[in-house]
Amino acid sequence: MTIQFNDETFRDDYSFYNSDWAIKRFPFPFHEDSYMYAVNMEQHRGGPEGSVYEKRFDVDEHYVSEMRDRAMVLADDPLRCQSLPHMTLAGWDLLELIMVSKSEDYPDLFELHRDGNQWRWVNKPLGIDDTFTFLDETTLPYGPMEYITRQTQGDFCVLDQRDDMLWMDAGMVTTQADWSLDFDIGMNFFEWHAPVPLAHEKGIFKRALKFLLNIQQGAPARRLNWTMTVNPLLDTSPENYHIWGIQKTTLTPENIGSKQHLRVELQTFFRLPRSNALVFPIRCYLCSFQDLMTMPKWGRRLHRVVRDLPVELATYKGFIDNRPMMLDYLSQFDDGLPTSPGVWPDQETEPPLQK
Amino acid sequence: MSKFQFPESIKSRPVYGTLEPRPGKAHLFVADAEGAEAILDLAAASPDLMAGAHIIYIPKGTDFTEKLRDLNPAQFYEGPTYAASVQRLRHVLENAHQGLQVYLTGTEGLMGQAQNEAMQAGIPHTAIQTEHRGSVARRMQCVHCKGITEDVITDPFVCAHCGLNLFVRDHYSRRLAAYQGVCIDAEDPGNVPEPVELYK
């Protein structure tokens, strides 16, 4: 299909919106009526047609506007994109992976023409047509990782692998759930996850690390993570928290349906061929509560998940103060009927709201 | 007296040990204030070490300099501040040969910054010994303005640069040699708890 790109903002007037198509394919993260941390990995080898899992790097209606927002973030704070000196080769690996994937998966939007190391990259949505020499940094306007991730939705962590450990040694991070690449760069897997509650004690990170260290070329994996964001603000950075934090207090019973967003991260993991680094794209999808409620199953389930979430998690995810108001709103959409297993909306089979 | 048992914390928080003599061709000590006592303890246990020792010491108002000199290290430098000592530290690291042992002791800020210099010179952080002594003050980075506030002893505290009220996180960056300070009243401006001394 040809994607109609939205002209929208993720700041100031927040004109971001999801079309019916985008709501229907939203990666709702709860496969049952409760939530607890899990490694929850699966192979990233496609998914149902039209779903966000289908392509290696999903492109949707927000693409052009998200890239515009990223450029603004980087102009304000170039430290959101950093690469330690030994990570340049991994940057080239990533550039190749994305260019090959996108040109194969979206031939109407992206083209890659290769003649030895002479490459021509055409990005039609962003109006880019560049010719460069692969592995020669002087032929690109930015380093390879920055160049390609200015053209790809989602944050990117490029992890070096050594001493049976992963190291956060490069990244492009402008749509983060409140963590700082500038602070965390150079940390190992356990260190950058240190602030996460409960999961260390449950052994989650040890198991996840074991899994990730063994990811092979051509066998990418994926998982979902989630949090809550007031307003469709992509750049919920700690750097700017003193500016955006106050927005959490602007929720009212009247505006919560449109202002409160479920923020879902589609995390994928690819082994890179030359550097043996691991790239960890973190793609952010936002959906307002009122749009989620158009799917009766999601309405029932979201209420139950938010209601029963342990206090530590609601605190860590930053919505403990707003939880009572969320529950007042969400409970209107929970009639107590059972929900079908799995994340899909099951519009055809789930009954409409019985109240 | 100068030892402090840090409470259990998150995994990015540094863990300090007790300096032990290790075989090496040269021994570089960087210390401030009560860190001198850790060097004195080590020298008492292994006096031979001092013949190959280079001590860079920042007294910070303490009175250990003569005792350290009396150990007869091969080289000794008393610096007025850490910043004043950095050029010498870099020089030593740049000209170091294989077999150098690095010992850092004193406050967290001193150890963190010196460790960072050693890492940049190519020494893995796991090969560097550290022992905390003296003040439990922390070196804090404001995540908002990126300014460093030295010797923070209360939580919350005021950023010395941008003036925001920051709470002290245990999250620690080796590269910045600092803990992270995050605005405490972003969601309720002006609602700042009374500062409490760290670990009290």
Say which residues have a Cβ less than 8 Å from residue A195's Cβ, sequence separation at least 6.
Answer: A179, A316, B10, B12, B169, B170, B171
CB-nearest partner of B11 from A186, A190, A244? A190
Tell me what ipTM this predicted complex has.
Answer: 0.91
> Please, where in chain B does CATH 3.40.50.80 lie?
27-132
User: CA A294, A297, A300, A301 torsion: positive or negative?
Assistant: negative
CA A70 to chain centre: 14
**What is the rounded distance in angstroms from the CA atom of residue B89 to the CA atom of residue B111?**
12
The parts of chain B modelled with pLDDT lower than 50 are none
What is the nearest CA distance from B11 to chain A, expressed in angstroms? 5
Per-position pLDDT tens, chain A of length 355: 589 999 999 999 999 999 999 999 999 999 999 998 777 899 999 999 999 999 999 999 999 999 999 999 999 999 999 999 999 999 999 999 999 999 999 999 999 999 999 999 999 999 999 999 999 999 999 999 999 999 999 999 999 999 999 999 999 999 998 899 999 999 999 999 998 888 888 888 999 999 999 999 999 999 999 999 999 999 999 999 999 999 999 999 999 999 999 999 999 999 999 999 999 999 999 999 999 999 999 999 999 999 999 999 999 899 999 999 999 999 999 999 999 999 999 999 999 999 8
B187 shares contact with chain A (CB less than 8 Å): yes
Does A68 qualify as catalytic in the annotation? no
Q: Which of A87, A200, A242 should one mutate to test binding to chain B, selecting the residue with the greatest count of B CBs within 10 A? A: A242
Count of Cβ atoms closer than 10 Å to residue A92 Cβ: 22
Q: Which chain B positions have a beta carbon within 8 Å of A184's beta carbon?
A: 173
CB contact under 8 A, B146 and A182: yes
pLDDT at A1: 54
What is the nearest CA distance from A10 to chain B, expressed in angstroms? 20
In angstroms, what CA-CA distances link A194 with A121, A133, B7? 39, 40, 15
- State which CATH number among 3.40.630.10, 3.40.50.80, 1.10.287.130, 3.40.50.300 fits the domain covering B27-132: 3.40.50.80
Q: Which chain A positions have a beta carbon within 8 Å of B13's beta carbon?
A: 194
**What is the rounded distance in angstroms from the CA atom of residue B86 to the CA atom of residue A120?**
48
In angstroms, what CA-CA distances link A154 with A76, A96, A126, B5, B17? 18, 17, 16, 42, 40
Counting every residue written for chain B, the total comes to: 200
pLDDT at A198: 81
Contact B51, B16 (CB under 8 A): no
**What is the rounded distance in angstroms from the CA atom of residue A8 to the CA atom of residue A285?**
14
Residues 127-146 of B with CB under 8 A from A: 141, 143-144, 146
CB-nearest partner of A241 from B171, B176, B182? B182
pLDDT tens, position by position, B52-79: 999 999 999 999 999 999 999 999 999 9
**What is the rounded distance in angstroms from the CA atom of residue B161 to the CA atom of residue B164?**
8
pLDDT at B155: 97
Contact A268, A212 (CB under 8 A): no
**What is the rounded distance in angstroms from the CA atom of residue B9 to the CA atom of residue B117?**
25
- The percent of chain A in helix, strand and coil, each rounded to the nearest 5, is 35, 20, 45
pLDDT tens, position by position, B24-48: 999 999 999 999 999 999 999 999 9
Q: Which of A76, A176, A182, A191 should one mutate to test binding to chain B, selecting the residue with the greatest count of B CBs within 10 A? A: A191
Residues of A with CB under 8 A from a CB of B: 180, 182-187, 190-195, 200, 238-246, 248-249, 321
B165 shares contact with chain A (CB less than 8 Å): no
CB-nearest partner of A186 from B11, B175, B189? B175
Which candidate in A150, A223, A263, A304 is catalytic? A223
Instruction: Return the amino acid letter for A117.
Output: N
Supply the pTM of this predicted model.
0.94
Structure-token pair, residue B72: 């007869």
Count of Cβ atoms closer than 10 Å to residue A313 Cβ: 18
Q: Which chain B positions have a beta carbon within 8 Å of A245's beta carbon?
A: 183, 186-187
**What is the rounded distance in angstroms from the CA atom of residue B119 to the CA atom of residue B182?**
27
CB contact under 8 A, B144 and A321: no
Q: Which chain A positions have a beta carbon within 8 Å of B168's beta carbon?
A: none
